Amino acid sequence: MNVVIIGGYGGMGQIFVRIFKAYGWNVIITGPSREKGEKTASDFGVKFSDDNRIAMSADITIITVPIEKTIATIKEVAPLVKDGSLITDFTSVKTDVCDALLQYTNKNAEIISIHPMFGPTISGIHGQIFILCPLRTEKWMPVIEKFLNDYKAKFVTATPEEHDKAMSVIQGLTHFTYISIGYTLKNMDFNVKESRKFASPIYSLMLDIIGRILSQDPYLYAHIQMENSLTQDVREKFIESAIVLNNAINSKDEKNFVNIMSSSAKHFSDLGNAVGRSNKAIASLHEELEFLKNNTGKEIFVRHTISQQIHFGKIHTIDAENLELENIFKKILKIKISNIEILKDDEEILNVQKNVFGITKKDFAVLLDEGIDETLITEILNCRKYELEIDNVFIKDIYRSEKFKGNKSVCYEILFVNRNVGAKEAEIRKFLNRIGKLR
Domains defined for the chain, CATH in brackets: 2-158 (3.40.50.720), 164-267 (1.10.3660), 291-352 (2.30.30.100), 354-438 (3.30.70.380)
Helix (H) or strand (E) holding 6: strand 2-6
Around Cβ 102, how many Cβ atoms within 10 Å? 16
What pLDDT was estimated at residue 263? 94
Helix (H) or strand (E) holding 104: helix 95-104
Average pLDDT on 153-181 reads 98
What pLDDT was estimated at residue 320? 78
What pLDDT was estimated at residue 270? 78
Average pLDDT on 136-142 reads 96
- Checking if the pLDDT of 127 tops 80, the result is yes
What pLDDT was estimated at residue 228? 95
What pLDDT was estimated at residue 306? 77
**Nearest alpha carbon to residue 3 among 59, 77, 50, 81:** 59
DSSP code for 398: E
Helix (H) or strand (E) holding 262: helix 254-268
| Distance from the Cα of residue 317 to its chain's centroid | 28
Average pLDDT on 363-382 reads 92
What is the signed CA dihedral for 158, 164, 165, 171, rounded to 10 degrees?
A: 110
Q: How far apart are the first and last CA of the chain?
A: 51
Band of pLDDT at residue 405, cut at 50, 70 and 90: confident
**Nearest alpha carbon to residue 92 among 65, 74, 110:** 65
Question: Which region among 55-64, 126-135, 169-178, 211-220 has the lowest average model confidence (pLDDT)?
Answer: 211-220
Average pLDDT on 198-220 reads 90
Around Cβ 252, how many Cβ atoms within 10 Å? 8
Contacts of 146 (CB under 8 A, 6+ apart): none
Q: Based on the number of CB atoms within 10 Å of its own CB, is 178 exposed (0-12), middle (13-18) or buried (19 or more)? A: middle
State pTM to two decimals: 0.72
